[in-house]
Amino acid sequence: LLEVLDSDDNDVQAELYFYQAEAHYLLHQRDLACEFWDKSASMGDKDAARNHTTICEKGKDKLRRKRLTRMEL
């Protein structure tokens, strides 16, 4: 479902990429997770940038979840 969703709003699109990355990570697809965290981070998502740095660059397995999503606002 996340792959089908698309948005013109960059904030929402960045969050969609973040959750796609999280889904791939939880399915043990680290390469795809890193790809989507990188896309999300390049759009300004700070949580995605932290996950990309921690998991993809440093190789640690410490997933950082979003505290409050845009959808919850």
15-39: per-residue pLDDT in tens?
899 999 999 999 999 999 999 999 9
Assigned token pair, 7: 């948005």
Q: End-to-end alpha-carbon separation of the chain, Å?
A: 21
pTM for this entry: 0.77
Residue type, 43: M
42-57: per-residue pLDDT in tens?
999 999 999 999 999 9
7-19: per-residue pLDDT in tens?
666 668 898 999 9
- Decide: 55 and 35 in contact? Cβ < 8 Å: no
pLDDT band at 73 (very low <50, low <70, confident <90, very high): very low
